[in-house]
Structures are given as C-alpha cells and as structure tokens.
Structure 1
Amino acid sequence: MTIDQMVFRIAGSFILLSLLLAVAHSYNWLWMTAFVGANMIQASFTGFCPMAKLLKMIGIKPGEAFK
C-alpha cells in the first residue's frame, strides 16, 4: 500500500468518524470534518500533507502524489 492510498483512507475514515460522532454525540464534531476538508484543499494547492510526511517517516513507500 502506498502513501497516497493510506492518506485517502485515513482522511475518509476521519470524515466518516466525525460525522458519526456528530450525529451520535455532539454537532461540534463537525469541526473535525471541516479541518480534514480544509487540510485536503491546502494539500492540493501546496503539495504539503502532514499525514503523508508522517507516513513517509515511518517507512511507507510513496505513490505518485506525495513524492
């Protein structure tokens, strides 16, 4: 599995988790959804993704997007 695949899976999981928590617990969990979305937008412009950097540091092989 590459960094690209893991970043998308982790981001999608965080979004779904925060939506579930917003429905079940408190609507304030939607701030987590907003944070993940904003981070994905900034990564598309700058090419800098903190999660990709962390995954690279632990030795996951890079894909095409986050070399």
Structure 2
Amino acid sequence: MQATKSRSTLSINRASNNEGAFWQSGYHDRAIRDGEGLLPFARYIVANPLRAGLVNKIGDYPLWDACWL
C-alpha cells in the first residue's frame, strides 16, 4: 500500500503541478479476506460521496448500485 500511495502521489502532483502530501494523514488500510465483512466496508465506501457533499442523495452516485452491495 505504501508503494501505491507514494507512486500515486508523485503522479498526481506532477499532473496537477503541486507538491506535498496527497493522502489524508492517519489513513490505514485494512485487508478483507474471503469476503468476510465486505458488505459494511462496501457500503461505507459507496457512501463517501454523500458524506463529502459531492452528491445530494446516494442514488446520484453512479456506482451506488454495485453488484456486491
């Protein structure tokens, strides 16, 4: 995960002509194995645009009805 975060930060900063941190501090990844506990995590992720105020209702987010929800 560290390599992914590092590479994506470099790419994003180059493309946007920015410097510095891109990822929120305190971010922690968590592995989900064999689908265990997948549904709550999937719902949390899909609800992020709503919590961030990017959509007014969850149905406005194009991926809200992903097949694994």
1 or 2 for the larger relative contact order (CA 8 Å, sep ≥6)?
1
Tell which structure's C-alpha radius of gyration is larger.
Answer: 2
Q: Which has the higher helix share?
A: 1
